[in-house]
């Protein structure tokens, strides 16, 4: 008997519990399962972040506002860690979902999924929400958070999408990522605070890190997937291997080939300008924005020079709507643009980077 029999199958108890919950849930509760699957989805993360940001700004007690802002930062870091860890685990383990194991006896609410069952992304996200809000809540609020996480986990089993072991693993992963974010942020805070007193090369190091992360991800994708291949991770997110001759998010992808040299030249000119800007004494949020944009631009330039086209691998979709595939370099550029916009809208951003 393998480790999976004991740690995942629980000697058959995992399937038995699934069948008891899945078949024992009255059909009248189907809309409730659908609702908690919806509010337990990664798609609600932007609303969660926006809500915490608004809470921090509207708090009448400054100390309360700072506490909420810290929870927002912690949630954002934990969310990023959990999304990466869940994706790696799903691809590495590739455990089958209930319909692939039990067939037509499973009552499914929504689309039928057959792969990448462990961990439950919804349960992971619910644990992240609980971890972010727990210190801010009183007794009744904490009871509500526990009930929310439990109902999200139940909804995934009732919907025929996950086994109980997947839900338990998701809760555990969310808790681990929340704890890890709480450990990492205090370590990174002094580095961020001291960035204004260090050399401009700190920001060039940030740009280099963005290039390395994006190129490592692209290397893994090109070595793992054939061109055009896609692997479903969640009902709304696929990992794909797409070659894009255009700009970010497939802009001008259908042009006749001239765009490769145009974008190389344009990106090099912009990169030179960004490098010049980073040598100035800028507010650190603005400097961070320029540095990650520089890293994203250089990484995509490296693709155009070495491969002729840019490797895209992140594919988000919802029903018939599909966002053009993109990569971490595009994310870095978008994040940098957000930092610059936020810095421009914040009159109190005066701290210099050098």
- Domain harbouring 161, CATH code: 1.20.144.10
Of the candidates 167, 205, 124, the one whose C-alpha atom is nearest the C-alpha of residue 21 is 167
Parent domain of 163? 1-191
Length, in residues, of the chain: 354
Q: pLDDT averaged over consecutive 10-residue blocks of the chain (354 residues)?
A: 75 92 90 91 87 90 90 90 85 87 86 84 95 94 96 94 95 95 80 57 85 87 85 82 67 53 82 86 86 92 84 84 86 91 70 52
Give yes or no: residues 295 and 179 share one domain. no
Which residues 6+ apart lie within 8 Å of 342 measured at CB? 285
Determine whether 303 is an active site residue. no
Looking at residue 344, its pLDDT comes to 83
Give yes or no: residues 126 and 76 share one domain. yes
On whether the CB atoms of residues 82 and 129 are closer than 8 A, the answer is no
Give yes or no: residues 252 and 116 share one domain. no
Looking at residue 33, its pLDDT comes to 92
Determine whether 214 is an active site residue. no
Cα–Cα distance for residue pair 329/331, rounded to 1 Å: 5
Give yes or no: residues 182 and 293 share one domain. no
**Boundary (domain end) residue, out of 126, 159, 191:** 191
Q: How many folded domains does the chain comprise?
A: 2
Cα–Cα distance for residue pair 135/72, rounded to 1 Å: 12
Give yes or no: residues 309 and 346 share one domain. yes
Give yes or no: residues 307 and 220 share one domain. yes
| Residue 283 DSSP one-character state | B
For the whole prediction, is pTM greater than 0.75?
no
Cα–Cα distance for residue pair 234/254, rounded to 1 Å: 29
Give yes or no: residues 133 and 211 share one domain. no
Give yes or no: residues 204 and 268 share one domain. yes
Give yes or no: residues 46 and 104 share one domain. yes
Give yes or no: residues 203 and 186 share one domain. no
Give yes or no: residues 172 and 204 share one domain. no
Cα–Cα distance for residue pair 252/245, rounded to 1 Å: 8
Nearest-5° Cα angle at 294, 292 to 296: 70
Q: What pLDDT, in 10s, does the model give residues 16-71?
A: 999 999 998 898 998 999 999 989 988 788 889 989 989 998 888 889 999 998 99
Give yes or no: residues 159 and 210 share one domain. no
Selected catalytic residue, list 166, 214, 303, 312: 312
Check the CA dihedral 46-298-206-344 and report its sign: negative
Q: What pLDDT, in 10s, does the model give residues 313-324?
A: 999 887 777 888
**Boundary (domain end) residue, out of 191, 215, 230:** 191
Tell me the DSSP string of 210-237. HHHHHHHHHHHHHHHS-TT-EEEEETTE
Q: What pLDDT, in 10s, does the model give residues 186-206?
A: 876 665 565 555 567 788 888
**Boundary (domain end) residue, out of 162, 191, 220:** 191
Paired with 243 in beta bridges are 311
Selected catalytic residue, list 166, 214, 315, 330: 330
């Amino acid at each position: 008997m393998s480790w999976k029999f004991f740690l995942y199958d629980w000697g058959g108890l995992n399937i038995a519990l699934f069948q008891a919950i899945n078949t024992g849930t009255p059909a009248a509760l189907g809309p409730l399962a659908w609702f908690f699957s919806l509010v337990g989805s990664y798609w609600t993360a932007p609303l969660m972040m926006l809500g915490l940001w608004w809470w921090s700004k509207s708090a009448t007690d400054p100390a309360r506002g700072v506490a909420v802002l810290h929870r927002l930062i912690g949630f954002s870091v934990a969310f990023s860690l959990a999304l990466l860890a869940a994706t790696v685990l799903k691809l590495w383990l590739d455990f089958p979902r209930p319909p692939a194991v039990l067939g037509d006896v499973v009552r499914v609410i929504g689309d039928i999924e057959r792969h990448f069952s462990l961990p439950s992304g919804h349960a992971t996200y619910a644990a992240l929400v609980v971890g972010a809000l727990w210190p801010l809540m009183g007794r009744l609020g904490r009871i509500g958070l526990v009930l929310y996480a439990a109902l999200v986990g139940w909804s995934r089993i009732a919907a025929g999408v996950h086994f109980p072991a997947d839900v338990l693993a998701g809760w555990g992963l969310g808790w681990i990522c929340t704890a890890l974010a709480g450990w990492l942020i205090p370590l990174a805070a002094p580095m961020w605070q001291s960035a204004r007193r260090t050399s401009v090369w700190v920001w060039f190091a940030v740009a280099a890190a963005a290039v390395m992360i994006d190129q490592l991800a692209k290397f893994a994708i090109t070595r793992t997937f054939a061109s055009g291949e896609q692997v479903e991770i969640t009902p709304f997110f696929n990992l794909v291997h797409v070659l894009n001759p255009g700009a970010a998010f497939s802009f001008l992808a259908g042009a006749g080939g001239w765009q490769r040299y145009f974008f190389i030249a344009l990106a090099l000119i912009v990169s030179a300008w960004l490098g010049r800007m980073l040598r100035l004494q800028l507010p650190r949020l603005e400097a961070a924005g320029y540095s990650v944009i520089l890293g994203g631009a250089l990484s995509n330039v490296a693709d155009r020079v070495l491969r002729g086209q840019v490797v895209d691998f992140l594919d988000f979709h919802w029903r018939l709507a599909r966002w053009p595939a993109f990569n971490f370099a595009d994310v870095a550029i978008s994040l940098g643009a957000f930092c610059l916009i936020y810095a421009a809208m914040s009159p109190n951003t005066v701290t210099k980077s050098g």
